[in-house]
Structure 1
């Protein structure tokens, strides 16, 4: 007998509290600590699985699963 190989998928749970918090800082400058290090920029968009962060004239898509913490910048 042969078994069919089913590709495995990694599924990340959606945390609605994190998504809501990120949505509350849309168009504000934040520091986002990721597993690869910190990034500072303006949150331009928030989806269920990623955010769009603008740093200078560049847009970065960051998976929410890779975010450790977020700190809004004070003015």
Structure 2
């Protein structure tokens, strides 16, 4: 475990966010298209506006949603 510099013995927190490259690639291929996303919090359907390594921007009824990739259960093109 990494330690703070200068001899301090307090451990530094390390944040690790895995990148699901297959999901990111699938979403990138659907840019500009309507999709249905099932997330751990429910279902969203809308147009894929942007895709980053950790989230996707979906527009549904003129509202933008920023959905974490890690929260996506499945994707279906509409």
Normalised-by-shorter TM-score class: 0.7 to 0.9
Q: Deviations over 1:12-55 (max 9, x none)?
A: 21122111110011111100000001101110000111000001
Runs of 4+ in 1 over 3 A off after TM superposition: none
- Tell me the residue number matched to 2:19: 14
> TM-score, normalization: structure 2?
0.82
Q: How does 1:38-53 map to 2 (within 5 A)?
A: 38-53=43-58
Larger Rg: 2
RMSD, aligned CA:
1.4
TM (norm. structure 1) is: 0.85
Structure 2, unaligned runs of 5 or more? 1-7
CA contact under 8 A between 2:20 and 2:69: conserved in structure 1?
Answer: no
